[in-house]
Amino acid sequence: MAEQVVRAEIAANQAKAAIAPAFKGLIYGIGIPPAVHFGAMCASKTFALGWPIEPLPPEYVAIDATILTAFFVSSPLSTLARAGAARLLKA
């Protein structure tokens, strides 16, 4: 029974490793456009560049904030948590 569980976990980990690069590309594809738009808006306002950047429609503001938070806060923190857990498990 235990051997079957271990084999199932190995197969699941191999499947995760196989799709990880595609998932990472998807995350960057979703996260970069809002990040560029937000960065351009901030740069234009901060440095009075006068770039004609349209603000987001009100219904997209929450979505944009969620994507930016996931891209710049949650993703790095989960990476740090995994690295910390791996280090603790080695000790």
pLDDT of residue 43: 92
pTM as predicted: 0.56
Predicted confidence at residue 91, as pLDDT, reads 63
Half-sphere exposure of 65 (CA within 13 A, CB side): 6
Pick from 28, 9, 38: which is nearest to 71 by CA?
A: 28
Instruction: Identify the pLDDT of residue 46.
Output: 92
Residue (of 58, 57, 56, 53) closest to 40 by Cα position: 53
- Two tokens, residue 13: 């980990």
**Cα–Cα distance for residue pair 86/81, rounded to 1 Å:** 9
27 and 68 in contact (C-beta within 8 Å)?
A: no
pLDDT of residue 60: 87
pLDDT in tens, 17-66: 777 777 777 777 888 888 888 889 889 989 999 999 988 889 988 988 88
